[in-house]
Amino acid sequence: MTHCHPYFPMKTGAASSRLVLLLLVLLTAAVRAESRVLPAAAAASAAAPSSWTSWSPREEIAPKFAFAPAGGANHKGAWIIEADRREGLYGCWKTELPVEGGKPHRFSVLYRAAGVANADKSIVARVLWRDADGKLVKHAEPTFTSYRAGEPPQAEPEYPRRKGVTDGWTEMSDTYLAPPLAKKAIVELYLQWQPDARVEWSDVSLTEVSSMPSRIARLATIHFQPKGGSTILEKAQLFAPLLEAAANKKADLVVLPETLTFYGTKKTMAERAEPVPGTVTDYFGTLAKQHNFYIAAGLVERDGPLIYNVCVLIGPDGSVVGKYRKCSLPRSEVEAGVTPGHEYPVFDTRFGKVGMMVCYDGFFPEVARQLTLNGAEVIAWPVWGCNPLLAQARACENHVYLISSTYGDVSANWMISAVFGHDGKVLAQGKEWGTVAVAEVDLEKPTHWHSLGDFKAQIPSHRPPWVLSSGGK
């Protein structure tokens, strides 16, 4: 007697046999694919170490928790959380680790996930500082933010950053200065709000280290109106003495104003455009190499028949590190035939990650936010004019250092040439024409707010998901 699969009635003929075989192969592949997304928990049924507990705010939204003693990146154990097809499941594995208050500690954990659409939103690790009795503690250093300045803020949860992927395992890590009265840290490892998903946590560590990391950068702006010069090169040469002054102030990055080869001429933007690299970037490259710093210059780029309003980043080796094409165009540039850009690149420098935007971009929160999500720690902003409150907002809402260089007179109470800090405050400002203002910052140092903690670390997991309207992009 010949038997057949219950889902496939027996048919005769080679074609039918091949069809049955193909369907069986596809069914097997689908089952295997499903098992990769939500594998059976039988292999992970052991009890977790006694120092670990699972948690959810309510039983009705609790995901499934399991522990695999031989799992994880190094086969030393994996803490597993699985969500079924219900919406809104939320929970974590948690443990307590000892710390010594006032000392720097490095936290690290690895995870591997399946079925997760947005890891920033759904996979979160937290470190919470507590004293010996489990009570909240405060940081030693008073906050300098505009809200309750001068008071030591309460130590809010830390949110470690994603650092890279190795063999399918993503590292989340950061180094923190434990508050003076801290005696333990509560580590929480979450899966949240993602149906049909699974995450394995592995290799959790919190170890004391010798010192806190530090990355000092001296950020400079030039406040200048290049009224002289007839050619585009002569316009650029007007900035030479100011760039020398910035070098004397030991600047690492100097930001110049917008479309500086176009300013003060009776030409069109198209007539003042040239390719990038070109004669002006070559000239600024010579000065950047001479002074051993980076220059961010607002220029007009020609690319075939197209004209772009750009900011170009030139490195201390004299080469073009990269460019940003202005994405948000005002009416005057649209009518002049300027083409908008559509990318938000961020560039590695010797001191950190630099993004750029140009003038009208600052009226829209999306540009600075996208640069921040792409990793920008500093945003260079050549800007003809803008509402200075928007400069403060772009810096504060993203916790980035923002450097503006403008043509506006200080007396106009409009846009200023300045370096803005994480809380939107002005750290340095060029108030007189032909001056250079410099602010020294530590890119590794977080800004702690009362009740908010290190807000920048929370942006990826707390911001609303990017949702496109049905009417367009």
Q: Which amino acid is at 268?
A: T
Quickly tell me which residue has 């597993």 as its tokens: 80
CB pairs under 8 A, 24+ apart, for 167-173?
Answer: 167/73, 168/112, 169/73, 169/110, 169/111, 169/112, 169/202, 170/110, 170/111, 170/112, 170/113, 170/119, 171/108, 171/109, 171/110, 172/108, 172/109, 172/110, 172/111, 172/125, 173/106, 173/107, 173/108, 173/109
Residues 258, 301, 333, 377: which is the catalytic one?
Answer: 258
Chain CA centroid to CA 189, Å:
21
Burial class (CB in 10 A: 0-12, 13-18, 19+), 103: middle
Rounded CA separation 416/427 (Å) = 12
Quickly tell me which residue has 């057949």 as its tokens: 4
Residue 72 and residue 110 in contact, taking contact as beta carbons nearer than 8 Å: yes
- Read off the tokens for 307: 């004209």
Rounded CA separation 224/220 (Å) = 13
User: Is position 92 annotated as part of the catalytic site?
Assistant: no
Residues 326, 333, 353, 456: which is the catalytic one?
Answer: 326
Residues 359, 377, 386, 396: which is the catalytic one?
Answer: 359
Bond preceding residue 213 cis, omega within 30 of 0: no
User: Is position 234 annotated as part of the catalytic site?
Assistant: no
Strands 453-454 and 346-348: unpaired
Give bridge partners of residue 112 from the DSSP assignment.
200
| Sequential DSSP letters for 210-238 | SS----EEEEEEEE------SSHHHHHHT
User: Is position 274 annotated as part of the catalytic site?
Assistant: no
What residues act catalytically?
258, 326, 359
